[in-house]
Amino acid sequence: MSKKSNRVKPTKKPQSKANWITAGVIALIVLLGASLLLFMDREDSASKNGNLTASQVSDKLQSGDEFYTYFYQTGCVHCEKVKPYLVPLGEKQDIPFEQIDLAVEQSAWDTFAIEGTPTVVHFKDGKEVSRVSGEQTEEAYKEFFAGKDVKNSEEESSGDLND
């Protein structure tokens, strides 16, 4: 005959409240740290893409620099149409050609009175010299960069990309 053991099997101790609290605090710190890094990296990511932030353009204005700024939106059909010829034309200028993605830099809509995209603004001595808005032909952008007045196009996107 076999004898049954009266031995009690050990059970696992339940996690103490202190361990759960510690794990929760660590998770919270990690989440807050990651959020802070993402927030701080926003300006860096704009610069890495060759784009300026609204505050960087404001700094250039305060210093009296002369430059062009191309305001566009990721996903804007009119911006996508003009980009293949507008960006190379702008980069060929003797005056710096900057870019701002309004989908990222939403404060720039109001700061620079942008009503639709694409918009190119010429700044000099801290002031706006000229601007052209809406989808333009390559020839129209050439005229704009040559200092001629160009009629704004009705073909532009507002902040609502369904335009």
Per residue in 8-44, pLDDT (tens digit) is 666 555 567 777 788 778 888 887 776 666 555 544 4
pLDDT score at 48: 46
pLDDT score at 156: 55
Q: Which CA distances in Å does 120 have to 70, 96, 114, 126, 132?
A: 4, 12, 10, 16, 5
Token pair, residue 157, equals: 């996107």
Domain 54-145 has CATH 3.50.50.60: no
- What is the residue extent of each domain of the chain? 16-48, 54-145
pLDDT score at 13: 58
pLDDT score at 90: 95
Contact 76, 46 (CB under 8 A): no
pLDDT score at 47: 46
For the question of whether the overall pTM of this predicted structure is more than 0.75, the answer is no
Top-confidence residue, 50 or 116: 116
Q: Which residues share a beta bridge with 119?
A: 71, 133
How do residues 46-58 score in pLDDT, each as one tens digit?
444 568 889 999 9
Contact 92, 98 (CB under 8 A): no
Please name which of 62, 82, 75, 51 lies closest in space to residue 144, comparing C-alpha atoms: 82
β 119-124/127-133 pair status: antiparallel
Q: Is the pLDDT of residue 130 over 90?
A: yes
